[in-house]
């Protein structure tokens, strides 16, 4: 008889306690849909953020106006003070398939191999400005450079053994200024240049610029999204181009500024596309452009962006440091 009276309270207690004993890896809902801003006050010495990448181990690397920083998820460390990566803007940073870190600046490339820094100051006999870096799905590193009176610029690649130079069309004026590199699912490489976007295929290349389906030539950002559409951001104008099949469509950024080009683009895990512009951040949810997604970033030059493996979206600004959005 006693047991009957004990059984029911115990059952109720189990029901109450049971939910508390599980859900180990669940993220607190109050910690999502939030923004974090890293500045000199909480980790990064410089407010001027030029480049971001995620390495093979989940660390975030940030190139600033004055140095290189690594974030392991908990704390920031400045890296490479002993090398040439300190003291001038780091335009690009990426890790190749062998775990080698590549750091691009106006003085070429600094490469971190097994804890040692190496400086690559010239390619094919010329000094170069390493403006963009991209690791393709084979682990090869692509290097986009800027032309100047001292250097011809152009596109290069490193396959783990040798460097290669791509000549046509990247030796032509405009095409030798390379702002961005990416690839599509068909392993074609897309290159954004001052003279348009170039799609490198196995059989040759095709160009998208103002002579065919773009309004402006200065392609600063290219994105292949989860819907298999290709987006083109140009430094001029306030629209973005979307290539759907063979049809180009232009979408207004619904921006408050008449001239604010797209400098960077990233797609989050929910297939929202984020446009970093010369005057703020715009989010596209598949239908609408939201230019008020982060009031603190309106009027701000956003230079680089990244969606990491955990789904966090990172934005580097020119004046306000690094912003990180943790989505719902």
Partner 1 sequence: MKLKSVKLIIPVMMKRTILLFMLAGLTALSWGQTGGITDILTERVVDRPLTLHAGQLQINPGYQLSIGSRKFDADGDKIDLSKEGTAMVQHLYNLEIKYGILEFVEVSAALNYSSMGVREQPVWYSHGWETMFTTQLTEFKGISDLFVGLALRLPFEVNHFGWRVSAGASIPVANYKPEKPTHSSITLVDSFSVFQQVRFHYNDKAGNGTMIYHFGTAAQFFTDNMAITGWADYSLCFSEAETHYWESRLYEDEFSYQSVPYKIKPGNTLSYALTFDYQAIDWFDVFGKLSGMMYRGGWDEEEGVRIGHPEKNIMAVGFGYEIQVARHLRLFQSMDIPILGKNELAPLVIYTGASFNFLTR
Q: Which residue's entry shows tokens 């690839």?
A: 183
Q: How far apart are CA 311 and CA 291, in angstroms?
A: 21
Count residues binding partner 1 (CB under 8 A).
Answer: 38
244 binds partner 1 (CB under 8 A): yes
Q: Which residue's entry shows tokens 């600046």?
A: 105
271 binds partner 1 (CB under 8 A): yes
163 binds partner 1 (CB under 8 A): no
Q: Are 283 and 300 in contact (CB under 8 A)?
A: no
254 binds partner 1 (CB under 8 A): yes
Minimum distance from CB of 317 to partner 1 (Å)?
23
Among candidates 18, 118, 101, which has minimal Cα distance to 63?
101
289 binds partner 1 (CB under 8 A): yes
Among candidates 172, 100, 175, 167, which has minimal Cα distance to 133?
100
283 binds partner 1 (CB under 8 A): no
Q: Can you tell me which of 186, 201, 310, 319 binds partner 1, judged by CB under 8 A? A: 310
Q: Which stretch binds partner 1 (CB under 8 A): 55-63, 149-157, 248-256, 293-301?
A: 248-256
H or E stretch covering 152: none
Minimum distance from CB of 160 to partner 1 (Å)?
30
- DSSP per-residue codes, 189-244: EEEEETTEEEEEETTEEEEESTTTT-S-S-EEEEEE-TTS-EEEEESSSSEEEEEE
Which residues, 6 or more positions from 30, have their beta carbon under 8 angstroms from its beta carbon? none
Both tokens assigned to 83: 């090398």
Q: Which residue's CB is nearer to partner 1, number 81 or number 271? A: 271
Q: Which residue's CB is nearer to partner 1, number 6 or number 27? A: 27
Distances (CA, A) of 115 to 60, 66, 99, 103, 140: 17, 20, 11, 14, 20
Q: Which residue's CB is nearer to partner 1, number 11 or number 113? A: 11
Q: Which residue's CB is nearer to partner 1, number 31 or number 202? A: 31
Q: How far apart are CA 97 and CA 133, in angstroms?
A: 13
Q: How far apart are CA 70 and CA 64, in angstroms?
A: 11
Q: Which residue's CB is nearer to partner 1, number 18 or number 204? A: 18
Minimum distance from CB of 226 to partner 1 (Å)?
8
Q: Are 80 and 62 in contact (CB under 8 A)?
A: no
Q: Which stretch binds partner 1 (CB under 8 A): 43-51, 118-126, 202-210, 285-293?
A: 285-293
Minimum distance from CB of 74 to partner 1 (Å)?
18
The residues in 1-30 that bind partner 1, with binding defined as CB under 8 A, are 8, 11-12, 15-16, 18-19, 23, 25-30
Rg from Cα positions in the chain: 23
Q: Which stretch binds partner 1 (CB under 8 A): 79-87, 142-150, 158-166, 252-260?
A: 252-260
Question: Residues interacting with partner 1, by CB under 8 A?
Answer: 8, 11-12, 15-16, 18-19, 23, 25-30, 32, 226-227, 229, 238, 242, 244, 249, 252-256, 269-271, 286-290, 310-311, 328
């Amino acid at each position: 008889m006693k047991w009957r009276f004990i059984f029911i309270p115990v059952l109720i207690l189990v029901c109450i306690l049971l939910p508390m004993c599980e859900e180990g890896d669940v993220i607190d809902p109050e910690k999502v849909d939030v923004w974090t801003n890293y500045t000199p006050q909480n980790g990064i010495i410089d407010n001027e953020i030029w480049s971001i990448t995620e390495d093979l181990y989940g660390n975030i690397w940030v190139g600033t106006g004055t140095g290189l920083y690594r974030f392991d998820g908990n704390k920031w460390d400045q890296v490479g003070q002993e090398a040439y990566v300190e003291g001038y803007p780091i335009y690009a940073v990426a890790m190749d398939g062998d775990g080698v870190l590549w750091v691009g600046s106006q003085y070429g490339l600094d490469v971190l191999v097994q804890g040692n820094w190496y400086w690559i100051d010239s390619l094919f006999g010329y000094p170069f400005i390493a403006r963009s870096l991209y690791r393709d799905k084979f682990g090869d590193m692509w290097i986009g450079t800027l032309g100047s009176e001292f250097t011809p610029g152009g596109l290069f690649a490193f396959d783990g053994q040798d460097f290669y130079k791509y000549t046509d069309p990247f030796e032509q004026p405009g095409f030798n200024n390379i702002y961005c590199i990416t690839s599509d699912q068909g392993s074609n490489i897309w290159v954004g240049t001052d003279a348009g976007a170039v799609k490198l295929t196995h059989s040759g290349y095709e160009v998208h610029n103002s002579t065919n389906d773009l309004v402006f030539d200065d392609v600063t950002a290219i994105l292949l999204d989860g819907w298999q559409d290709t987006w083109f951001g140009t430094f001029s104008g306030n629209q973005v181009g979307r290539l759907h099949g063979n049809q180009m469509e232009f979408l207004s950024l619904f921006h408050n500024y008449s001239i604010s080009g797209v400098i960077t683009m990233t797609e989050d895990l929910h297939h929202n596309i984020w446009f970093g512009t010369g005057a703020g951040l715009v989010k596209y949810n598949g239908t609408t452009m939201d230019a008020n997604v982060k009031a603190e970033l309106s009027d701000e030059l956003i230079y680089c962006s990244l969606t990491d493996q955990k789904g966090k979206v990172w934005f580097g600004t020119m004046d306000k440091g690094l912003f990180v959005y943790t989505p719902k």
